[in-house]
């Protein structure tokens, strides 16, 4: 039987529950336990797939094609767990299932209510992660204690612990302990009130994890223990790290958080193995080189919109012991003048949807191509590479994507014939992991070191094969395609040091211990460009 850890948040949002959930997961795995992870989001959208990145950050995609919360990226990167459709549930998904069953008559005419029907569905979702062989399931509850949207989830986890027994589940509450500079004092009252909200609905936290800017003193720890009804030893300080989020697991290990969790769950205290993480931290904290990358996107006002890309650069930096400074540049600002790119060692053009900023992305790609600046295009970025090349090398001035210009005379990017006419946008999406075969002697195959790869996709429009021969005859090489050669997956310019685009999202498969080869390749090329 799997043990369960439920993580809630209090005082304010944005405390980093995802990293706080993923860090003990890694520590528990380092002690030989198998861990599964889940995120429950209280919003009414079925998934974040149709939400603006400004609302919710990036949409993370799992191998099975599930569009999920970005915290699942932390789970996969930190804890090394594999997430799937059972790893992310929203209120919208839960309610949809209950309503569908009610329409089918599955409730035999009963009045459908929040309790027990909604809470039972949530408990069923929790059990879906407790697969055979999983020792511990960590379930993060989104939102903040006191949010009306979160109440069904909190009620469900209260019931769930009663169902499986006290010794088989624990509640961990992440809270903020602010330091008020004007009075020079750390305040515990907000945390007390947050825990009081949980007490009022029958949840009594077993552990408090306290986010702080400054070190906690014994007085604050004793006060939190007393007023929150939590043993002193179970009040864990999580001070802001100085350099990298990859310091968090080590910080929590120094406070024996994982040992205390195992003790609470009556599990054996196996030996911890963190040598690999210590080595990784050494490379994070002591880079020997640095380079600057410009990311030309349309959501430059929010780093979380490109969270996995920033982390992928961090992973490449770890591998190369290089500090990668990645600046976000708003694509629209480059439409008339790309001189702002001149000081960079490389360019990345990320994915996205919609016409806004396309002219700036195309201009940046032309700059990278003509100025021989290392460049990586991802998803829409690759599509813009094709558009730019068709316009400025093939002289097809009207070349475009039918996403932006449905009546273009040269639709170098288009829906596949079988997709045209589908009214539901989701019906035309290519989501999840698909295989790709790389061309021998290409830059792509040299980067990957193999000809057969699999990558995660999230896109609707494809390279139009009607223009494939024309583009290749003028130097834009198709270096990766589906096994049957019907879908173009990667393009590159052979006589350019590093100019490569991919239809998929490599950032979703980059890990601290196995950085993605495309990001490593871009950083290596940027360092070489620096030497010129």
* Distance between CA atoms of residues 474 and 175, nearest Å: 58
Residue 379 falls in the annotated catalytic set: yes
Residues 314, 317, 323: CA angle, nearest 5 degrees: 95
Concerning whether 507 is annotated as a catalytic residue, the answer is yes
Among 56, 457, 505, 516, the active-site one is 505
Contacts of 253 (CB under 8 A, 6+ apart): 27, 272, 274
Q: Answer yes or no: 375 catalytic.
A: no
Cis-peptide into 351, omega within 30 deg: no
Q: What is the C-alpha to C-alpha distance for residues 78 and 74, in angstroms, rounded to an integer? A: 6
In the numeric block, which tokens belong to residue 397? 């001035």
464 conformational bin, left if phi > 0, alpha if psi -120 to 50, beta if neither: beta
Burial 436-450 (b: 16+ CB within 10 A, else e): bbbbeebbbbebbee
Given the residues 379, 384, 436, 502, select the one marked as catalytic.
379
Sequence-distant (≥ 6) Cβ neighbours of residue 471 within 8 angstroms: 386, 389, 390, 394, 412, 478, 491
Within 10 angstroms of residue 135's Cβ, the number of other Cβ atoms is 18
Chain Cα centroid distance, residue 526:
25
- Of 223, 219, 200, the closest CA to residue 208 belongs to 223
Distances, alpha carbon 43 to alpha carbons 142, 143, 306, 365, 459, in Å: 9, 9, 21, 37, 24
Helix axes 189-200, 218-228, angle to 10 degrees: 20
Residues 6 or more apart in contact with residue 483 via CB below 8 angstroms: 435, 436, 437
Read out DSSP for 275-294?
Answer: HHHHHHHHHHH--SEEEEEE
> 298: which 2 tokens?
């349309």
Neighbouring-strand partners of residue 185: 180
126 contact partners, CB below 8 Å, separation of at least 6: 4, 38, 137, 139, 156, 157, 160
- Residues 495/475, Cβ–Cβ less than 8 Å: yes
Q: Give the full edge-to-edge strand order of the sheet including 462-463.
A: 399-401, 410-414, 462-463
Cα 250 to Cα 5, 280, 321: the distances in Å are 20, 11, 19
> Helix, strand, coil shares of the chain as percentages rounded to 5?
40, 20, 35
- Give the DSSP letter string of 363-420: HHHHHHHHTT--EEEETHHHHHHHHHHHHHTS--TTEEETTT-TT-SEEEEE--TTTT
Bridge-based pairing of strands 477-481 and 488-492 is antiparallel
Residues recognised as catalytic: 379, 505, 507
């Amino acid at each position: 039987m799997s043990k369960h850890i439920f993580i809630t948040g209090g005082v304010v949002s944005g405390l980093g529950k995802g990293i706080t959930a993923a860090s003990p997961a890694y520590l528990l795995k380092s002690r030989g336990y198998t861990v599964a992870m889940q995120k429950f989001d209280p919003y009414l959208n079925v998934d974040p797939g149709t939400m603006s990145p400004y609302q919710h950050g990036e949409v993370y995609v799992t191998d099975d094609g599930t569009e999920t919360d970005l915290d699942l990226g932390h789970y996969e990167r930190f804890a090394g767990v594999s997430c799937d459709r059972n790893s992310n549930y929203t209120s919208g998904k839960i309610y949809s299932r209950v309503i569908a069953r009610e329409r089918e008559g599955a409730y035999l005419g009963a009045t459908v209510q929040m309790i027990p029907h909604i809470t039972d569905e949530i408990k069923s979702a929790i059990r879906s992660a407790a697969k055979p062989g999983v020792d511990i399931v960590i379930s993060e509850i989104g939102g903040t204690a006191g949010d009306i949207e979160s109440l069904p989830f909190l009620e469900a986890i209260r019931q769930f612990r009663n169902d499986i027994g006290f010794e088989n589940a624990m509640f961990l509450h992440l809270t903020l302990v602010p330091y008020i500079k004007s009075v020079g004092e750390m305040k515990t009252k907000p945390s007390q009130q947050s825990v009081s909200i949980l007490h009022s609905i029958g949840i009594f936290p077993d552990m408090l994890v306290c986010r702080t800017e400054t070190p906690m003193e014994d007085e604050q720890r004793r006060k939190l223990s007393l007023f929150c009804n939590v043993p002193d030893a179970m009040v864990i300080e999580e001070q802001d790290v100085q350099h990298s989020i990859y310091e968090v697991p080590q910080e929590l290990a120094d406070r024996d958080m994982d040992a205390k969790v195992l003790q609470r769950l009556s599990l054996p205290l196996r030996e911890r193995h963190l040598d690999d993480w210590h080595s990784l931290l050494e490379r994070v904290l002591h880079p020997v080189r640095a380079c600057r990358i410009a990311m030309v996107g349309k959501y430059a006002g929010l780093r979380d919109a490109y969270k996995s890309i920033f982390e992928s650069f961090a992973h490449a930096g770890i591998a190369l012991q290089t500090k990668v400074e990645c600046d976000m540049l708003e694509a629209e600002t480059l439409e008339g003048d790309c001189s702002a790119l001149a000081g960079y060692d490389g360019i990345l053009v990320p994915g996205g949807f919609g016409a806004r900023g396309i002219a700036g992305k195309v201009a940046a790609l032309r700059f990278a191509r003509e100025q021989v600046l290392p460049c990586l295009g991802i998803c829409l970025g690759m599509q813009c590479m094709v558009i730019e090349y068709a316009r400025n090398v093939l002289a097809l001035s009207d070349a475009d994507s039918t996403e932006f210009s449905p009546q273009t005379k040269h639709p170098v990017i288009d829906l596949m014939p079988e997709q045209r006419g589908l009214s539901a946008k989701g019906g035309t999406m290519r989501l999840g992991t698909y295989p790709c075969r790389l061309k021998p002697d290409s830059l792509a195959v040299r980067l990957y070191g193999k000809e057969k790869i699999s990558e995660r996709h999230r896109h609707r429009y494809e390279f139009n094969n009607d223009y494939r021969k024309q583009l290749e005859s003028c130097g834009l090489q198709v270096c990766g395609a589906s096994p049957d050669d019907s879908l173009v997956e990667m393009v590159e310019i052979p006589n350019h040091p590093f100019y490569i685009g991919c239809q998929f999202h490599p950032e979703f498969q980059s890990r601290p211990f196995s950085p993605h080869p495309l990001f490593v390749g871009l950083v290596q090329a940027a360092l070489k460009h620096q030497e010129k």
